[in-house]
Structure 1
Amino acid sequence: MTDAVDRAPAHVAASAVLRVGGRELDLARRFAVMAIVNRTPDSFYDRGRTDALDAAVRAGAAAFEAGADLVDVGGVKFAPGPPVPVDEEIERVVPVVRELAPLGPVSVDTFHPEVAVAAIDAGASVVNDTTGIHDPRMADVVADSDAAIVVAHSLAAPRTQLPLPHYDDVVGEVAAFLRERVALAEEHGIPRERIVVDPGHDLNKNTLQTLELTRRLDELGDLGLPLLVALSNKDFVGESLGRDRDDRVAGSLAAAVYCALHGARIVRVHNVRESVDALRMVEAILGWRQPVRLRHNLRPEGNG
């Protein structure tokens, strides 16, 4: 399979091993699936389905069972809205993190350093900051731990609207923002092998801007860091296809596969089993993994 591997996309981070807590995630020839578990009553996709503690823990455990490499636990949705007190956010996410951490790497989706500290203490090995380290104290928190950080592109202050977002060159401006925030993370002591970048699909971007960002995703390979895409069931998928929120799985999978072939190494998803199958299939096509079984048009064993 060496020829297939040689023909594989070249958009692999300079360091293909991501350190998450005490574990190493080898992304050289594997796409990682990050499952989403929202412990919020008003979440974008599941609309409170996993708000209860037992439901959130069951969902996270099921995600690992379905093949997720990481589970991302959030207590506050990204969309604009009234602030959620830090203590309440901690109460939402920490018990879930504590229960799931023995099962595999757990990420906490937060922009509050205080929440990150509590989650890391409970076993989280990744901090997913969708505000691009809006608060520099977040970089200090991660630097003082062995957790990794996801640095996402978003321009507005946390949980506020950016009306009519404009970019002269959306890809160039996203890359410049991420480069600047990664430099900040490094200045605060976070090593590059614990940094992931996220271009922020739909975050302060309209559908045309997000489509262009996706189309030119491979240009972000110059950042030299593992690239995460969070595009599952988002509005750019719905608007592109004319599909409501509950009918965007096929479009999300198509976008995930496109991104995987153009530089993404981690895909953040709601529909875990479908996404795992799609990405494992891409790995098989690229020659990065062997099929689970081989029977079709092959001589049965023992009939030599």
Structure 2
Amino acid sequence: MEHSNHTRVTEFIMQGLFDHPHHQGLFFGLFLCLYTAVVMGNFPIIVAIVIHPPLHTPMYLFIANLARVDILFSSSVVPKMLENLLQEKKTISLAGCIMQLFVLTSSLVMELLLLTVMSYDRYVAICHPLHYVKFMNKEICIRLAVSTWAVVTINSFVHLLLVLHLDFCGPNLIQHFFCEFPAILALSCSSTYINEIMMFVADIFLVMGNFLLTIVSYSFIIITILKIQSSKGKQKTFSTCSSHLLVVTLYYSTIGFITYMRPSSSGCMDTNRAISLFYTVITPMFNPIIYSLRNKEVKEALRKILGSSRTS
């Protein structure tokens, strides 16, 4: 009954990325270039893995899916951010905001699960190389893929349904350049207790659970590498997982700051936005560079694709 005295919010106003209106055109050009780099960096890797038969292995299948997730993740945020940079009033509809939340949550969890599965793949390849074909056969890969999508779908729909049950009566200013759960929950005029509980549960089981699984996998990998007698053998074995380890380090260091150490005071909003910009644009841009520059098979496939496109 009390909600009838309020006007229901149908759109949100975003604070934007920077508080410098005179530099919006400069920022638009910069982030358009960065977003282009994300797409043009990840898309060729997907193409190379799809059309190059030697890359039709579980490890590269996971890398291709990671590249797809990076493109989807950035595409859910950056185009709307670029649009708002050209407008004086930066708005997003309630439906658009909820859709952005859904895609962002799905992408984050998918990347989290993919990195864990890739850690397991490297563990099997290094610690049990003779049984790799048995432990990472087609059937097991399909099961891993189905399980990953099931977890992503269930988690995202639970959070989505909980947000849809919230009332937004004003204010409608999102102190961010995209929709994220903490900023949206802060604007609700109804109880967000269940939402916060589910977010906490997701952090514990998804973030901490997958982090521990990754740590366990790499603990066994490091132990196995240390048992190798020759330094050349150690270096060669470590090189097979160094790219993935670097991506994992970038991902978890950013997620850890966002989830557990991010300052909540209004005076630290610039820091919050800078960190968010890092994991929505910078990390997806670096991932293909890490995998392509440190992987001979991917570089060879990219050379063949570029060579065939020039000759045709």
**How does the TM-score come out when normalised to structure 2?**
0.27
Who wins on radius of gyration, i.e. which is larger?
2
**How does the TM-score come out when normalised to structure 1?**
0.27
